[in-house]
Each structure stands twice: as structure tokens, then as C-alpha cells.
Amino acid sequence: MLDPRDWKAIFEVYAREPTLALALAYQFAALKQVVQSGPKGLSDAITGLDQAIEHLYPHTDFHKMGHSLYHLTIESTISVKQEDLFTALKESLQLKRKRTVKTNSMSKRKPQISLVKSVEKNRIGNKQKASNTL
């Protein structure tokens, strides 16, 4: 995190935005003062960092991809392959979360709702069966 090469790459965009660079420097100075104020300040600093992380999310590809996936789903244009990739990723992330978060209660798994119309799944399944019999 504190590797100077990481910071250089991150701040490269500010070379053309001196006003934004100054505004960010003010934020870092305020964060530094809060951290130096003691244990209460540390909690406030973490809260501020969490807020900053959340405010950056809409500017990431994750937000854009999630929005695209959402529209593919509600417009019923998501392919079986895309749905399978999404399901595999979702399950992978859930497994990772289960390993990192200890829970005392057993949680029931929600029924899987298909993002692809069942008609499309049947059509693709029938094509695969037909090609396997040839």
C-alpha cells in the first residue's frame, strides 16, 4: 500500500488537474490529523476511508459491468454462458466469504433463480443433445 510506485501510478492523473490534486492533499492532511489525535481519531479515519472507498465505486468498471449485467438480465438477453459465468463467480465469492466470516448459525441456501428464460435453456440443451448424438 505504501509503495511509492503505487502512489506514483495512482496520482499520475492529477498531473493535469492541479485543483483536484490540492483538494486531495487537503483530505490527506485532514486524515493525518485525525489519525494523530488518538484512538477516537483512528475510528473516525477508518470511517472516512470507508466512505471514500464507497464513493469511488461508481467510477470503477465493477459498477459499469454490474449495471450491464443487470440490464442483460431484466431484458432477458443474457446468454446461458454469461449466466453460468455469473453463477460461478457468485458461488466462488460466497465460498470465499464463508471461509472468512465465521457464523454461528446455519444459513439456508436460497433457491437459484435462473437469469435465462427456461425456453432458451431448453433450446440450447436440445441443440447440445442433438450435436452429441451425431
Q: What is the model's pLDDT at position 96?
A: 73
Neighbours of 73 (CB within 10 A): 17
3-state helix, strand, coil in the chain (%, to 5): 80, 0, 20
Structure confidence by residue, pLDDT tens digits, 46-102: 999 999 999 999 999 998 999 999 999 999 999 999 999 989 988 888 877 677 665
The residue ranges of every structural domain in the chain are 4-59, 60-99
CB of 46 closer than 8 Å to CB of 87: no
What is the pTM (predicted TM-score) of this model? 0.56
Structure confidence by residue, pLDDT tens digits, 1-24: 678 888 888 899 899 999 999 999
User: Is it the case that residue 119 has pLDDT exceeding 80?
Assistant: no
